[in-house]
Amino acid sequence: MQSKSLLLAIAAFAVTATGVHAYGGSKILSRAGLSEDQMAAIEEARELRSSGNFVGARDRLVEAGITDDTLRLIHRASEETRDAMHEALMNDDYEAFKEAVVDSPLSDLITSEADFHQFREAHELKIAGRWEDAEEKFTALGFEPGHKMGSRGHHHDGFMNELSDEQRDALMVARQANDRATIQAIFDEADIDFRQTRLHHRNR
């Protein structure tokens, strides 16, 4: 049986890996103060976790000297990058957006000001609930169908459908460990209002 500390490590890493991969890659890891060996360990652990080797992922992080505090720093850096990206979208500021997503997967997809405006329009459509129209624009930009680029503050009753596979895995282990802080972090990362999901379950 897995220990509570292992469950927490898996949950924390799943959340961190999701944010790092989507919003900043090596830029976020560098901002969090990780060494090159630790950056490599994060990538290796992410692959191990994806293949179901949770213990191997945890052990690789520990071997590289990555602690709970390190994971928190990475998650904070990821949040700062995401906030900067959303602020640039709200302000229609292409230059600020480029700076926010440099060295991230987004920088490979949004390569011109025209792409940026299409990306912004897709976000506005998603906020307005026009999911199919938004998906069409995202797909045209090169995003895979069903990607999880959320909008700040979004929530609805089918909130589990808004979580990535990694986030659902993290939520499961965090609930098993009764780790409310990690549960909150998962919902924050997915742009879901945790208070509304609790209210929904109480009213069912």
Task: Give the per-residue pLDDT at 78.
Answer: 81
Task: Give the per-residue pLDDT at 167.
Answer: 73
Task: Give the per-residue pLDDT at 92.
Answer: 95
User: Under a CB-based contact definition with an 8 Å cutoff, are residues 133 and 125 in contact?
Assistant: yes
Task: Give the per-residue pLDDT at 19.
Answer: 64
Give pLDDT tens digits for 141-184: 888 765 555 444 444 445 666 677 667 777 777 777 677 777 77
0.85 exceeded by pTM = no
Task: Give the per-residue pLDDT at 201.
Answer: 45
Transcribe 145-193 into DSSP letters.
TT-----TT---TTGGGGS-HHHHHHHHHHHHTT-HHHHHHHHHHTT--
In the block, which residue shows the tokens 């026009």? 130
Task: Give the per-residue pLDDT at 106.
Answer: 83
Task: Characterize 184-201 residue by residue with b for buried, 16 or more Cβ atoms within 10 angstroms of its Cβ, and e for exposed.
Answer: ebbbbbbbbbbeebeeee
Q: Write out residues in the chain with pLDDT < 70, as ranges.
A: 1-24, 145-162, 165-166, 177, 189-191, 193-204
Task: Give the per-residue pLDDT at 88.
Answer: 95
Task: Give the per-residue pLDDT at 56.
Answer: 85
Distance CA 190, CA 187 (A): 5
If you ran DSSP here, which 8-state letter would residue 142 be given? T
- Using CB atoms within 10 Å of the CB of residue 11, give its burial: 0 to 12 exposed, 13 to 18 middle, 19+ buried: buried
3-state DSSP percent of the chain in helix, strand and coil, to 5? 75, 0, 25
What are the domain boundaries of the chain?
4-203
Task: Give the per-residue pLDDT at 173.
Answer: 72
Closest among 138, 100, 144 to 122, alpha carbons compared:
138
Q: Which two tokens stand for residue 17?
A: 């890996």
